[in-house]
Structure 1
């Protein structure tokens, strides 16, 4: 999925070079089974928070009810 978001020829990666729209950030999510008994991990989401997915790092983030700030 990350390679698709980085593919300039597909048209999904909009860098503002003649496009009407510019990407503002990219996200890929790895979702888990709805059966929590069988799942060993939580869903993991990867974000860039930058406009260029070709050069950006996808940083992982896990939402959790047990966060301590």
Structure 2
């Protein structure tokens, strides 16, 4: 796990715990990446994706949040 990353979660995440993702975007890398982890298990493995993948995911998450069934 990269301890140099500064993790944050959405301002829409409540303080109740729940199903929250945290992301980190390194500022000092030549190849931009988005790091994603489960806020309940911060020492577990993380997912690292390209910014274009993250950008494609965000509208999907906004449309099919936890209260909407996924079309897949």
TM-score, length of structure 1 as denominator length: 0.38
- Structure number with the bigger relative contact order (C-alpha 8 A, sep ≥ 6) is 1
The alignment's TM-score, normalised by the length of structure 2, stands at: 0.37
